[in-house]
Structure 1
Amino acid sequence: MTTPPDARPLRADAARNRALLLAAAADEFAEHGLEASVADIARRAGVGKGTVFRHFPTKDDLIAAIVVDRINDLRTAGEQLLDAEDAGAALLEFLTIAGGQRQQRDLSFLMGSAEWKPDVKRAQAGLFQAVEGLAVRAREHGAVREDVTGTDVFLLMCAPNYVSEYVPNASPDLWQRYLAIIFDGLRPEGAHALPQPPPTL
């Protein structure tokens, strides 16, 4: 999670415990849902319950920290692609990263409990800026249709996994099929005028 400017940096052992807790909590929530207990998370991380509460006073704080870390990982990936020579390939690579990581699939599951948190909103705003930059560059280079916005891409980036979640016993790579369909729809070749303007986030 992003550290406030006036906060002290964590000691090495505290930072390590925090990272262990976030990883253990993400796995525990993925396996057992939001009812996963703090005791089980602590046991999985190899720390005591007191350590959990020193880092995260409530379970909502823990969930928000997972979401912020995942969003920031995506933002960093997007920012690293902003200077890529091939703007279209950079946008496709970003969407592939967003769709291909299990952590990002877990985001949708946890987001409902954390989206109101200020840290989560700030992280989302940072991610949106990176996505907007990728979309603008791809549009300027003629790699996507002229009426595609960063908002469109932001809303579409998790769609491939949403689709595959509804298919029983789906291949873990099924999302790639739907990403290819979505990205073909973003291309300028054969594009028709869109019936509605993009939404405002």
Structure 2
Amino acid sequence: MTSTRPLRADAVRNRRLLLAAAADEFAERGLDASVADIARRAGVGKGTVFRHFATKNDLIAAIVLDRIDALNAVGAELLEATDPGAALLEFLTVAAHQRQQRDLSFLHESGELPTEVTRAREEMSQTVHGLVDRARKHGAVRADVTGADIILLMCAPNYVASYVPDASPDLWRRYLAIIFDGLRPEGAHPLPHPAPPTP
């Protein structure tokens, strides 16, 4: 992985450009995207890529970590929100919007990712469970919904919308609203199967 020493301002800028360019290339071309194409898109040389990321897997891990860390930052703020139901909906909205911008879920399956990514995933799981616990205690979501349910549902709005040819970029919002209505306690019926184990 990359050095933990603080980066100069130009190095920070180059790293952000590289992460954005790599995310775009991977979204368009999949894992076959080349380092040369990523460098070209970012407006830097290949050497700059390898100064920041020793391998392509390091670059993939950095993108995944960047996305999870962004969600964790949002989640940490929402854990302090006064309306737990609105906080959970906001978190799901941010997660779905992030995926709508660039669906990079396949990067999570690209190979062994470093411990920083595992740590960030565990932090996100704890955050989601915290948001769900608060919403449940305040009666904003049904009593039998768990954090594990919500983690699985985070991908659902975009997944469903992806099956519609030439769909509006905001179609996922319709399915998120349907999902959230299903989470509310009003009119809820017993679920036919227990929740899965915590991811």
Deviations 1:64-88 (A, max 9, x none): 1101100110111111111111110
Deviations 1:99-124 (A, max 9, x none): 12346652313221156432221111
Deviations 1:139-165 (A, max 9, x none): 010000111111111110111001111
Find the aligned partners of 2:120 and 2:10 in 1 and give their Cα distance.
25
Partner of 1:153: 150
1:111–1:128 CA distance, 2 compared to 1 (3 A): same
Deviations 1:13-51 (A, max 9, x none): 222111111011011111222111101111111111111
1:162–1:105 CA distance, 2 compared to 1 (3 A): farther
* Alignment check: 8 A CA contact 1:18 1:55 kept: yes
Unpaired runs of at least 5, structure 1: none
Partner of 2:54: 57
Unpaired runs of at least 5, structure 2: none
Partner of 1:176: 173
1:128 aligns with 2:125: yes
* Alignment check: 8 A CA contact 1:163 1:175 kept: yes
* Alignment check: 8 A CA contact 2:136 2:142 kept: yes
Number of aligned residues: 198
User: For 2:194, what is the secondary structure of its paired residue?
Assistant: coil
1:67–1:114 CA distance, 2 compared to 1 (3 A): farther
1:27 aligns with 2:24: yes
* Alignment check: 8 A CA contact 1:63 1:114 kept: no
User: For 1:191, what is the secondary structure of its paired residue?
Assistant: coil
Partner of 1:9: 6
Give the counterpart letter for 1:62 in structure 2.
Answer: L
Partner of 2:33: 36
Find the aligned partners of 2:193 and 2:112 in 1 and give their Cα distance.
27
Find the aligned partners of 2:126 and 2:101 in 1 and give their Cα distance.
18
Partner of 1:144: 141
User: For 2:195, what is the secondary structure of its paired residue?
Assistant: coil
Percent identical residues: 73
Give the counterpart letter for 2:125 in structure 1.
Answer: F
Partner of 1:95: 92
User: TM-score, normalization: structure 1?
Assistant: 0.91
1:47–1:103 CA distance, 2 compared to 1 (3 A): farther
Alpha carbon RMSD of aligned pairs, Å?
1.9
* Alignment check: 8 A CA contact 2:18 2:38 kept: yes
